[in-house]
Structure 1
Amino acid sequence: MTSETEAGPEAGGQPGAASAGVPGVDFDPPAGGVPQVSYSPPERMLIWLCLAAFCAMILAALGQVVFRYVLEIPVAWTEEAARVLFVLCMVMSIAFAYREHEHVVVDFLFAGFPAGIQRGLALVFNLCIVAFLGFWARGAWRLAELNWNSTLTTIPFFRVSYFYIWELAAIGLLFLYVLLDTRDQIAGRRAGPLGRDHDT
């Protein structure tokens, strides 16, 4: 398993050289640091929204415990609210994890190939992701249609289809990040799966 910090000075290269030319990345991080991804204002807004959803989920879960076991006043909507917030936060975080190349990848066989073969395999890998996203989006759209008139039991104003609309937004963002990563691979700026660089 590799990480983006392996191709630094210890590997015989120049600091930041492995990621040179990749838009949105700080190529001169502090010694021992990790290159930082810079986000656009809309992306920052989504990140703050996910953070707010995560904090609200924690509060809803804690509130359920306090009301049920301390005050002995069951509040039914807290369980569904925590579940809704968890799903909204988790689905969008998949795209941001890809953006920062934080997904776990077991690529010890991949890393043994020459750079040219790595690049070709990485492109195939990304094409598989795009195909999967297409099937995922189709299913999410279909479920949004089927559940448009369904609402949550304790939160009647929240339609079940809202889950799938948010899911479609996350799929679209992830699709954009895969395309950007594929562009960098074609340009020779990236070699590994999910944008990871390898020593050659």
Structure 2
Amino acid sequence: MQDSPEFSHPEIDLSQMDTASEDLSDVSPLDIPVIILFVVLILIVATQFFTRYVLNDSLGWTEEMARYLLIVLGFVGSVTCVRKGSHIYLEFFYRYVPRGAIKPMAVTVEIITGFFFGYLGYLGLAMVERTAGQKMITVPWPKAIIWYVVMAACVAMVLYTIRNIVRLIHTDAEDVAHNKLENF
């Protein structure tokens, strides 16, 4: 049976695929905590896997620590995303507004996200107060440690958002429009 055109598989052009790069120029010393947390998380999950499926005797603390490290990694990693301006956003809106409206729209979006991160930090403070006397189940550490890290990450995101707003304000509107539309 011969393949019809609508079911044929086109050749894969490997030259068009993204490849891993050895260029680490965008990695900053500020990214070191994220890398350390990620490596520790990998080691804990590997330990969990090894003890559960190889030794058939799981260590109880690995699941709880992996859960809390994943929470911390999400927030600390978000600081890096805010610093680099690489959080996801709805880019298509920039395509449909006049070029002169892109800069005010970008500044407005940064202001809204800054308030959002600030509110998350405030909620983190509330969680610190609620969990101040509680210990983790399998490790004798206070649960508030997690919320202190979340709160600190939210404060850092607010500070980077303020920096992004100042940069946007001091950047020419045409350059902002070009940067927002260059992916299309």
Q: TM-score, normalised by structure 2?
A: 0.76
Between Structure 1 and Structure 2, the one with more helix by share is 2
- Taking the aligned partners of 1:60 and 1:38, their CA distance within structure 2 comes to 24
The one-letter code of the counterpart of 2:176 is: A
Larger radius of gyration: 2
Sequence identity, in percent?
20
Distance in 1, matches of 2:161 and 2:37, equals: 25
- Assess, with a 3 A threshold, how the Cα gap between structure 1 residues 35 and 122 changes in structure 2: closer, same or farther: farther
Query: Residue deviations 1:99-126, cap 9 Å, x none?
Result: 2222222222323333331111111111
1:101 is matched with which residue? 85
Per the alignment, residue 165 of structure 2 pairs with 182
RMSD of aligned residue pairs (Cα, Å):
2.4
| Number of residue equivalences | 158
Shift of 1:155: 0.6
1:32-69 per-residue CA deviation (whole Å, 9 max, x = no partner) reads xx995474xxxx1x522221221121121121122122
Match of 1:114 in 2: 98
Q: Is the 8 A contact 2:51 2:59 kept in 1?
A: yes
Tell me the distance in 2 between the aligned counterparts of 1:35 and 1:191.
25
Q: Is the 8 A contact 2:118 2:155 kept in 1?
A: no
Is the aligned partner of 1:197 residue 2:180? yes
* Secondary structure of the corresponding residue to residue 176 of structure 2: coil
Specify the code of the residue in structure 2 equivalent to 1:116. G
Compared CA separation, residues 106 and 166, structure 1 to 2 (3 A): same
In structure 1, C-alpha distance between the alignment counterparts of 2:111 and 2:124, rounded to whole Å:
20
Unaligned runs of 5+ in 1: 1-33
Deviations 1:149-189 (A, max 9, x none): 11111011x21111111011111111111111111111125
Is residue 133 of structure 2 the alignment partner of residue 144 of structure 1?
no
Alpha-carbon distance in 2 for matches of 1:36, 1:113: 33
CA contact (8 A) 2:124 2:151 kept: yes
Unaligned stretches of 5+ residues in structure 2: 1-22
Corresponding position of 1:61: 45
Q: Is the 8 A contact 1:57 1:82 kept in 2?
A: yes
